[in-house]
Amino acid sequence: MKRPVQSYTIWFSQRTGSTLLGEALSSTGVAGYPREWLHYQSMSPDTLKRGDLEQIWDQGTTSNGIFGIKINFEQRWIDAFRSLYSLPTELSRAEVWSTGFPNCTKHIYMTRRNKVRLAVSWWRAIVSGEWHRKHGDSPQLQDIADQYNFDAIKHLLVESNMCEAAIEDFLSESGIVPLTIVYEDFIADYEGTVMKMLAFLDVQFDGITVSAPFFDPIADEISEQWVQRFREECQRDWENVKW
């Protein structure tokens, strides 16, 4: 079992580039293997065992002792850790989290400025089933133009904001200042963002080469049509249109 020397968490909402960043960090071989470990193998907070966490440590830790995990904020996992380790109620949620993932001193917060594009991207992935497209793969040939759904996109817009509010509340209550990665900046400076992450983690990365992006963009003309349609419909009859 590889017990982490240092752990870090990537907190994210859907469609903010967390999987792309996770693949890039994993490829360096010095930044752990940040994946959604708690969602693998049908793991449940109700049946969580210490052995499950030890297995996760082993799978997510690189040879230098760095462990990485990425996750949407979910209070149920913190409650499960508190119960599993019989931790006192006065212990902060961040301290409880660090019990599950030892020495979790680094936190990364992934966000996206344009939440409408985030929600549209999320809905497109749901209706198409195409969440990621490996570099070089051909686009899926399917007609989803008639799958636009105002109410669904609006729900995802609200859900993404609620997820970020929960993350920000968790970080603020513990006085944690995370490294914030903004999706739009990450896409504009892929390699620079990865190197900034490695510096933030205080890992030695001399001679490390950042691999090319593992995924290609998925947004297309349909995505843009849905963005503009939602923008217009959402602000219909507004006296002061914002966008």
Class of domain 6-234: alpha beta
The residues carrying an active-site annotation are 36
pLDDT tens digits, residue range 14-34?
Answer: 999 999 999 999 999 999 999
Q: How far apart are CA 7 and CA 241, in angstroms?
A: 45
Give Cα 93 to chain centroid, integer Å.
Answer: 19
From 167, 36, 6, 13, select the one nearest 94 (Cα to Cα). Answer: 167
* pTM of the model as a whole: 0.94
Structure confidence at residue 131 (pLDDT): 96
> What sign does the dihedral 39-44-47-49 (CA atoms) show?
positive
At residue 196, the 3 state secondary structure works out as helix
CA–CA dist 84, 97 (Å, integer): 12
Percent of the chain at pLDDT exceeding 90: 91
Q: Where are the domains of the chain?
A: 6-234
Nearest by Cα to 71 from 38, 24, 99, 107: 38
- Residue 2: is its pLDDT beyond 90? no
> pLDDT of 141-171, one tens digit each?
789 999 999 999 999 999 999 999 999 999 9
